Structure 1
């Protein structure tokens, strides 16, 4: 039965609705990263599984678990979506202006980040400073320059510092940098329109990439894989667009939501399918191009594609909830409170899980004479459970105290990666 436009309801500006599915998605992304790193721990070349003698079951499992960057893509899209929700509720204005916004972001993101840096350094110094033949080896040794770059949030620009200390911290620098552009994007969104804001994010991303390519000609240590804001500012803006389509009170967005839900299944997946086909074609063409930047271009395109697909997912979930279809099986699954609870401290889980996995690997699994695959499975189970427990303690000590130092928005606060 067709859904009339009048039945589409947006979240009221006075609503305190807690969007459980956002917390659950954060939890799933964080848990996926932990499991990905548990596998990567013993299979560092997981991107090329042909190097290992794997069973068919292992090959299928590891193929699914080797895409850790996709979880980062989801985190970035969720960040744009969450921040845009509060902007929409405030008539497309940032509460308190630019400086207050940046102050809130600093208070929310930086103290837990610096705490994770310090704890990781202490663990390296006393317990996990030796090479072990695992993925952790990329985090050590740590130089004075690495520490300074991490403090300044510029370590993602350098190959030599990118994975040091704790190999997940690069994304915190990237996302915090994106926050600096958010007020500009909101201003353009309100004054010039959505397309200008989207175009601006693309220009910023391309300009950053071109600048890095130019700098890399004179400095081979410049990292072109995932530094700066490229391509993640595009994903961030995609999340903003998903929030606009999902929760804007305008007649046009309500019409789009009704049109989407009244469409056939084939039409609903048409746009994501087109993006997927275009990516596959582009990836195959680029494989034949002999260029040192080919891998970076392929990853750039894949990240943008995943960002668009995640944006569609958020639009689907939000619209489903607004149509009071909470009995939809996806909504029910993402409303599971234990999963949503993990999502409330997913930032801490992301920050601290890597050294936890190495501690378990070195002091618990290494002394046991079992196969590498068995160690990997055990690290997935024990490591994920332990990381969640320790992350909650970290959250209570180093994240939650700072969450109370700012005015918390009605919509759940952004979780960085």
Structure 2
């Protein structure tokens, strides 16, 4: 781990600690889904409330991924439209399609995954033709019947894919006339109206567009934009006001989900902006450097594959354990310390087969450094978005 004197110059654009953030976010999602899949539906939540209070926030890894994508993609459009879309498609689609194929194959050939058994896996089956088509075109988040079918976490890949098109069509044009912080606050406000006011569009998670914009604003701050305190204060005050009104007007699962995901995303955007700015100015604390350590960087390196495929593997592990009739605490322990590690190992194998051939130049440089057993900042370490864990 490099000491304070080993920092790169402020001109360097690479931030190794972001891979650590991504890896931890992916791990949080896996731990959360491991708990969710433990036993029968809602059994772990009802019988293990203390553990649920600790790991139940793991779903907030998704808004962190979206903020990271906004941060890393803020300046990607400058390379040109053709290169931008080709890069995004090559990076996201092949592993996604491969994971979808594996998920469908598991359901088709593993009898345990074909019949409902009172577990959380029941929402993933039966597979329908409309759902398969929606997944292929990455629009499954448009319907509650499609969103969690086949492979639940994939809905967020669809959201991020759609945001990739909104970047040049909406976010960058608006950025020319609005301060980036106010743009993020405005989009967060606009995208929460339909789900809160009329209960429409919740499955699509439109507020994630605002969190992507928050990540863009964080990127500008990291690159040296001197935001005035009044701008920061106004944006945060506006977001806090909307969050507060939302929770009072409609205090249910819809507003609760928007509230928690938006709050986590805003906090993540602020933290990432501050860490990146401190890193550029050679004053990042030791904790930031630890996020760029070899184990955490490797976790971020394989996080997309882990995110894509962990869900059906965890579900299968739970179904295999159920006949043993274990007490729920022992069942959760087996899921967490046996099934989850095995699932992650399988996902890492999937990474080398289905994702590694499509990694970008920056990730190839990271891979070489990880193989060499060192992670010294290099000029080739340029930031680029690796969605998952998009996001």
TM-score range, shorter chain: 0.7 to 0.9
The answer to whether the aligner puts 1:101 opposite 2:84 as a matched pair is yes
Counterpart-to-counterpart distance in 2, 1:341 and 1:195: 32
- The residue that corresponds to 1:219 in the other structure is none
Aligned match for 1:141, one of 104, 114, 126: 126
1:10/1:195 CA distance change after superposition, 3 Å: farther
- The residue that corresponds to 1:374 in the other structure is 330
- The residue that corresponds to 1:121 in the other structure is 104
The answer to whether the aligner puts 1:309 opposite 2:274 as a matched pair is no
Q: How big is the shift at 1:372?
A: 1.8
The answer to whether the aligner puts 1:157 opposite 2:133 as a matched pair is no
Q: How big is the shift at 1:126?
A: 0.9
Once the two structures are superposed, what CA deviation does each residue of 1:103-144 show, in whole Å capped at 9, x if it has no partner?
221111111111111100000011121223221111111111
Counterpart-to-counterpart distance in 1, 2:52 and 2:130: 35
Is the 8 Å Cα contact of residues 38 and 332 (structure 2) preserved in structure 1? yes
Is the 8 Å Cα contact of residues 35 and 44 (structure 2) preserved in structure 1? no
Within 5 Å, give how 1:199-278 maps onto structure 2: 201-202=187-188, 205=191, 209=194, 224-227=201-204, 230-248=206-224, 250=225, 252-253=226-227
Aligned to 1:379, the other structure's residue is in SS state helix
1:224/1:45 CA distance change after superposition, 3 Å: farther
Counterpart-to-counterpart distance in 2, 1:65 and 1:33: 9
Counterpart-to-counterpart distance in 1, 2:339 and 2:286: 29
Q: Which segments of 5 or more consecutive residues in structure 2 lack a partner in the other structure?
A: 1-7, 365-380
Counterpart-to-counterpart distance in 2, 1:234 and 1:118: 31
The answer to whether the aligner puts 1:295 opposite 2:295 as a matched pair is no
Aligned to 1:94, the other structure's residue is in SS state helix
Q: Between Structure 1 and Structure 2, how many residues are aligned? A: 362
Q: How big is the shift at 1:359?
A: 2.4
- Larger helix percent: 2
Aligned match for 1:34, one of 24, 30, 50: 30
- C-alpha RMSD of matched pairs (Å): 3.5
The answer to whether the aligner puts 1:64 opposite 2:41 as a matched pair is no
Aligned match for 1:401, one of 342, 353, 357: 357
Once the two structures are superposed, what CA deviation does each residue of 1:135-182 show, in whole Å capped at 9, x if it has no partner?
111111111121111112121111211111101110011110001011
Is the 8 Å Cα contact of residues 353 and 391 (structure 1) preserved in structure 2? yes
Aligned match for 1:411, one of 360, 383, 386: 383
Counterpart-to-counterpart distance in 2, 1:10 and 1:189: 28
Counterpart-to-counterpart distance in 1, 2:44 and 2:206: 25
Once the two structures are superposed, what CA deviation does each residue of 1:376-413 show, in whole Å capped at 9, x if it has no partner?
12111223312221111111111121225999982143
Aligned match for 1:80, one of 70, 73, 83: 70
- The residue that corresponds to 1:220 in the other structure is none
Q: Which segments of 5 or more consecutive residues in structure 1 lack a partner in the other structure?
A: 1-8, 88-92, 217-222, 260-267, 288-293
Once the two structures are superposed, what CA deviation does each residue of 1:347-370 show, in whole Å capped at 9, x if it has no partner?
11000001111222233x234232
Structure (1 or 2) with the larger CA radius of gyration: 1
Q: How big is the shift at 1:279?
A: 4.0
Counterpart-to-counterpart distance in 2, 1:244 and 1:183: 16
Q: How big is the shift at 1:375?
A: 1.0
Aligned to 1:149, the other structure's residue is in SS state helix
Is the 8 Å Cα contact of residues 107 and 406 (structure 1) preserved in structure 2? no
The answer to whether the aligner puts 1:283 opposite 2:247 as a matched pair is yes
1:151/1:205 CA distance change after superposition, 3 Å: same
Q: Taking structure 1 as the reference length, what is the TM-score of the superposition?
A: 0.76
Q: How big is the shift at 1:32?
A: 0.8
Is the 8 Å Cα contact of residues 187 and 210 (structure 2) preserved in structure 1? yes
Once the two structures are superposed, what CA deviation does each residue of 1:197-247 show, in whole Å capped at 9, x if it has no partner?
43663476358x37x988x8xxxxxx73231x6110000000111111112
Q: Taking structure 2 as the reference length, what is the TM-score of the superposition?
A: 0.81
